[in-house]
Structure 1
């Protein structure tokens, strides 16, 4: 009986070892963390993954551990700490708070960020051209002055603009500071209003709409995640809502001069591939798209009685 038991136990141990070897995952692991779901960030993620696959980094080579923080900072911190504990090969952080959580979690694992408007103000890098730590990536910095030019072109009757943004978003603060400097050059006065979360957005937007001729909001992740609420206020109040991203126009805002987020995703994927192939972070300057597009929402334009086209613009409905 003892001999039989030993034989069975030995067989089970052999099977266990064999099974363990068969399930070992030798793929590269990419920890992908996204602040919240909204069109801009989703476009980056989807484009990034598609570009990795197109360049040969498909599911057979790369395991992508995608995590969404649902807009919660504590979730971001937990996700990034888990990535570190799992010893992922690189972290991809979409949006400024995601990048800040990642860089706080590790000084060793390479981090590539995307959709960080002002990496210096966010304390991610001190020099865009010479990253000195373990982090670099792509910026979605936007031409605020060009948005104001478009406003004058499409709606010359606008004299006072309401700046609406989330007080805690560093990226939004940076853009609004630029907007304040540019506004007088384009003949605008402005009124400023901040929110702390999306539950305050609708009331704040209605309040602001009653005092201004147009509303401008930057690439604000909080507001972008509830863009339909803001766009409805603009339509009901018959005032244009200018924004910082083409995807926000797709979600109902009136117009923008912004970047293409699918292209930003591809650009971010290229940087991820460089890291996976051994390029040091120190040799990878922060990259920014230089091709900007005018984008107008035709449905919204018709609702507020504003022009639904301009030369060279992309028209969405």
Structure 2
């Protein structure tokens, strides 16, 4: 009997030790981020990912190892992708469409969760929102069809009589190319407005783009969301002020000096991404996790900037705003 008891106790100890090792395993998460422009630090919006992970019990340095690489400047992207893949992470997180396409091209096996990709179906990243297919899923940033029109509607209320709205786009951004080919022309026809396109791929080209918008006598400008404009947000805001162009921006980074911010709550998207990571680390497949769209939007008006531009903000806009910066 003693021998049997010893064998049973040893077996129980073995099972217990295996369980402890499984519980103490640290998973590896690779994060291909936009960053704050320095190429060394996450921006404030991206840091919300940590809140989302903590909400599901995942702590960096405890049961999770997070490796960071950055997609900016653009010539850094290929090396950043290769370095993350070489680390063989359990899950990859990526922000922005260019970086997402690069990461998807680099691996068909490591699960990928994207954040801040406008139209993943149109870009060919997933088969459909409900059934992504492959090794990728995540959070989209808009509902196709009303992206440009919604911003024109806001600017028309703010600048009565406006009919010429410049659009700042990055021709290197695949999502921008889709919008310029389809939604922008149809919106111009439907609303009877003129939408001159000004483009920038580099920070220096932003100066030329804003000067071109002013030369074409734009009444206002719509700044498309992009890695370049996010990283160069202070420069974009300063150029809009220099050329006296009322501007509507896409994300919270522009609220400091930018006239209007209207777009999804990106911090909320990064927090929700933590839930995707949790499900995948617990065995779910990306192909079975539907792509989600924004549920929270931010509408911010900067009254100081409005006054500097000589604009009177109508009550209709003030009542709809989530925040009014005095």
TM-score bracket for the superposition, by shorter chain length: 0.7 to 0.9
Which position in structure 2 is the counterpart of 1:174?
178
- The 2-side partners of 1:121 and 1:37 are apart by 28
- The 2-side partners of 1:58 and 1:156 are apart by 51
Which position in structure 2 is the counterpart of 1:259?
264
> How far is the alpha carbon of 1:233 from its aligned partner?
2.4
Structure 1 gaps of 5+ residues are 1-24
Which position in structure 2 is the counterpart of 1:186?
191
Tell me if 1:285 matches 2:284.
no
1:217-236 alignment, distance < 5 Å: 217-236=223-242
1:3-152 alignment, distance < 5 Å: 26-37=25-36, 42-59=43-60, 60-73=62-75, 75-141=76-142, 143-152=147-156
> How far is the alpha carbon of 1:76 from its aligned partner?
2.4
Q: Deviations over 1:208-259 (max 9, x none)?
A: 12321111121122122212222222223322011222333x1432213211
Mean Cα displacement is larger for which, 30-39 or 148-157?
30-39
Corresponding pairs, count: 290
- The 2-side partners of 1:106 and 1:117 are apart by 21
Which position in structure 2 is the counterpart of 1:155?
159
Q: Deviations over 1:107-140 (max 9, x none)?
A: 1110001101121233211222211110111111
Q: What SS class does the counterpart of residue 311 from structure 1 fall into?
A: helix
1:289-308 alignment, distance < 5 Å: 289-308=294-313
Residues 52 and 273 of structure 2 are in contact (CA less than 8 Å); yes or no, is this contact kept in structure 1?
no
Tell me if 1:203 matches 2:208.
yes
Q: Pick closer, same or farther for the CA change 1:171–1:149 going to 2, 3 Å.
A: same
Name the Cα RMSD after superposition: 2.2
> How far is the alpha carbon of 1:299 from its aligned partner?
2.3
> How far is the alpha carbon of 1:315 from its aligned partner?
1.8
TM-score with structure 2 setting the length: 0.82
> How far is the alpha carbon of 1:38 from its aligned partner?
5.7
Structure 2 gaps of 5+ residues are 1-23
Q: Deviations over 1:264-305 (max 9, x none)?
A: 111111111111111111211111113333221222212111
- The 1-side partners of 2:104 and 2:78 are apart by 10
Residues 209 and 234 of structure 1 are in contact (CA less than 8 Å); yes or no, is this contact kept in structure 2?
no
Residues 51 and 269 of structure 1 are in contact (CA less than 8 Å); yes or no, is this contact kept in structure 2?
yes
Q: Pick closer, same or farther for the CA change 1:182–1:246 going to 2, 3 Å.
A: farther
- The 1-side partners of 2:189 and 2:37 are apart by 32
Q: Deviations over 1:54-99 (max 9, x none)?
A: 32101211111111232224x3222222222221100001111221
Q: Pick closer, same or farther for the CA change 1:281–1:56 going to 2, 3 Å.
A: same
Q: What SS class does the counterpart of residue 130 from structure 2 fall into?
A: coil
